[in-house]
Structure 1
Amino acid sequence: MTAKLKTRKPLASPLRRATLSLLGAAALALGSTAAYAQLEIKLGHVAGPGSLIDQSAQEFARLANERLGNKAKVVVFGSSQLGGDTEMMQKLRLGTLELSIPSTIMSSNVPAFGMFEMPYLVKNREHMKKIEAEVLRPTMLPMAEEKGFKILGVWENGVRHITNNTRPIVKPEDLKGMRLRVPPGVWRVKMFQAYGANPSPMAYSEVFVALQTGVMDGQENPLTQIYSAKFQEVQKFISMTGHVYTPAYLAAGSRKFKSLPADVQAILEKTAQDVQAYVYATAARLDGELLSKITAAGTKANEVDKNAFIAASKAIYQEFGKEVPGGTDLVEKAVALGAAF
């Protein structure tokens, strides 16, 4: 009988083994990259580079990414790259955007947040911290959840002042007939109507051109938003009304946020709260720096009769109490917390 010879597969050459190893490593790398890309966390906002909101967003992303490691990555898109405030709030609710930093627009989505649109309600940041702990978190954040929004952190937009090209504003009557851009939000419109102005909601990204072309006579914003948007280049006067302190919120869509891995959720929420100290410190520093830079550009600054503005604001408080369920209680608690300041 003739013995059957067993055939052996030829051993892979060193070159073949190295090639297979490289191909395997590349496949693994592509797989891990795909998984990593699925956990990209987009953070959108409307503010420009150097603004308080942008600095806050960048600090949050830096610290969050340090803590997240390879679990996920926060990427910041500022200057309305992902849309205006209204559009981004819709994207949060739909789950097509992970994070945004709304401010006034919150009052258009959750009526109780209109409390922060009440003139001269918040006295300073220490007062705001008390409101956050005793009114905002226990009462208002659950309301936001019901509307589909998860508030991770309470930050700051700032104390708002009026700029315009017509005249210095000293008393409310100086605003009579003035075309004034305001952010989307019913209470800011009502407030300036009560002062005699002609307010028009407009996306932040459109304001510079509206001022430059004379479509709008003026606008109102915190110093950091005014300076970073270069409004001082197209405005003659800045009146230090300090009419509203506006918080900003690091917000997510509730459903989208819950779909993230639990450890990622925890890191994002903890980081959002930890960054508040940086936000407040940066805001205080900018408050001390920016007015001189704005006036150096040729915009003239003036103080105002705040008592006259406060007196003209009483009707807004009364209307808020009537229109928003529980609004009077919210305002009264917030005001009482400011007694020590």
Structure 2
Amino acid sequence: MPGQNAYNNKPALEHSMKITKTAFASTFLAVSLTPALGMAQTELQFGHVGNPGSLFDVSATEFAERANERLGDDYEVEVYGSSQLGGDESMMQKLKLGQVTFSLPSTVMSSVVDEFGLFEMPYLIKDREHMKRVIDEVLEPDLYPLVEEEGYKILAVWENGFRQITNNERPINTPEDLDGLKLRTPKGTWRVRMFEEYGANPSPMALSEVFTALQTGTMDGQENPLVQIYSQKFQEVQDYLSMTNHVYTPAYVVVGKDHWESLPEDVRDVLEETAQEVQDFVYETAAKQDEELLGEMEAAGMEINEADQQAFIDASDPIYKRFDEEVEGGGDLIDRVLELGEEE
């Protein structure tokens, strides 16, 4: 009846409480029996910014499948792509807080440790075999400890890839063709400086925002590896693809140090070993995608040109000099990486 309070409706209230108690007991029983039912008890979230079909997506999925086969019933890796857990900077914060277990940052690492700006230097890494030597002789002994000082740990180095330029104004053959071009870049200081030196008007922007910026003309162009360009569907809103190969960007499988050390040792061993094993798969997949996607871009109507890479190399000296001046030991790091590129 209207105006009837909870006290006057006591039988209904008692019935509701019984239902609630039953539901609580059922939930408790389900959680308690989870290991016995073979279901994952603890979810280890792997966040990245790549769209479905991107190298990030394929790599993280392969890692999760391999790791989950070995982890048993108590832990399971779940992958969340397309910036579902936030952009790169947001996920780096969540790693420290233990809200995300793994992330796959690339350029943003130079915002965490200055020395990682090394991998924003143009035309530094020749190929993937060169990169493997750099991991063994520069990254692991010298840069990994700097990351740990900031509260992170790198489990393995995968790939973002060799970067190319797309835009809606004109083919890019030399740095002069970039003059005044509104170009989206990742949030890395040195990438912005590099394109400023080349004459462009670069603006850092989260990857999830780029398609709309290109579609509306807020940005004239952007630069990314082919697989990111294709999986983000930039070919639908860009006319020109210029093969500049201006930067090779690694991607790092990163965890928050405190959260990582809270996991059982056997779980950590499985995850770290698996992350490193997947590196060869990542490189093989990336090389295959690079070959296949050019045809896809052309079929989508993009005009493709090979840029004059030597002209870009000649225009890059000021970037190397500034890195040497502003980052302690920067010149030495560059020299060591270049020497490793001369080895067969």
Cross-structure match for 1:43: 46
Shift of 1:90: 1.1
Structure 1 CA distance, aligned partners of 2:35 and 2:334? 48
The partner residue of 1:117 within 117, 120, 145 is 120
Pairwise CA distance, 1:46: 0.4
Query: Could you tell me how far 1:324 is from its partner in structure 2?
Result: 1.0
Show the 5 A alignment for 1:84-233.
84-233=87-236
Q: 1:94, CA displacement in angstroms?
A: 2.1
Counterpart of 1:329? 332
Distance of aligned partners of 1:160 and 1:252 in 2 relative to their CA distance in 1, 3 Å threshold: same
Encode CA deviations 1:136-172: one digit per residue, 9 max, x unaligned.
0011011111111110110000000000000000000
Of residues 291, 295, 300, the one that matches 2:303 is 300
Deviation at 1:269? 0.4
Query: What is the aligned partner in structure 2 of residue 80 from structure 1?
Result: 83
Judge conservation of contact 2:35–2:74 (CA < 8 Å) in 1.
no
- Identity percentage of aligned residues: 61
What does 1:224-263 align with in structure 2 at a 5 Å threshold?
224-263=227-266
1:295 Cα offset (Å): 1.1
Distance, in Å, in 1 between the alignment partners of 2:139 and 2:146 is: 10
After superposing the two structures, state which structure 1 stretch, 142-151 or 28-37, moved more: 28-37
Are residues 26 and 149 of structure 1, via their aligned partners in 2, closer, same or farther at CA, if it must alter by over 3 Å? Answer: closer
1:30 paired with 2:39, answer no
Distance 2:298 2:201 in 1: 26
- Secondary structure of 1:75's counterpart equals strand
| Structure 1 counterpart of 2:57, one-letter code | D
RMSD: 1.6
For 1:25 and 1:148, locate their aligned partners in 2 and report how far apart those are by CA, in whole Å.
40
Deviation at residue 29 of structure 1 after TM alignment: 4.5
Q: Cα distance, 1:267 vs. partner?
A: 0.7
**How far apart, CA to CA, are the structure 2 residues paired with 1:303 and 1:296?**
17
TM-score (norm 1): 0.91
Q: Secondary structure at the match of 2:107?
A: coil
SS in 1 for 2:184: strand
Give the residue type in structure 1 aligned to 2:185. Answer: V
List runs of 5+ in structure 1 lacking aligned partners.
1-23
Contact 2:40 2:73 in 1 (8 A): no
Long gaps (5+) in structure 2: 1-24
Query: What letter is aligned with 2:217?
Result: G
When normalised by structure 2's length, the TM-score is 0.90
In 1: Cα distance, 2:35 partner to 2:111 partner: 37
Match of 1:66 among 66, 69, 77: 69
Aligned length: 318
Deviation of residue 325 (structure 1)? 1.2
Match of 2:14 in 1: none
Q: Which residue identity does 1:336 align to in structure 2?
A: E
Q: Distance in 1 between the 2:262 and 2:191 partners?
A: 35
- Deviation per CA, 1:13-61: give whole Å up to 9, x if none: xxxxxxxxxxx99966521438976621000000000001100000000
Look up the SS of the partner of 1:105 in the other structure: helix
Give 1:99 shift: 0.5
Larger CA Rg, structure 1 vs 2: 1
> Which amino acid in the other structure matches residue 207 of structure 2?
Y
SS in 1 for 2:321: helix
Amino acid at match of 1:324: V
Contact 1:71 1:264 in 2 (8 A): no
Q: Which of 301, 309, 313 is the aligned partner of 2:312?
A: 309
Match of 1:274 in 2: 277
CA distance in 2, matches of 1:325, 1:34: 50
Q: Report the residue type matching 1:325 in the other structure.
A: E
* Alignment partner of 1:265 is 2:278: no
Partner of 1:267, secondary structure, is: helix
What amino acid is the match of 1:51? S
Which residue identity is paired with 1:171? Answer: T
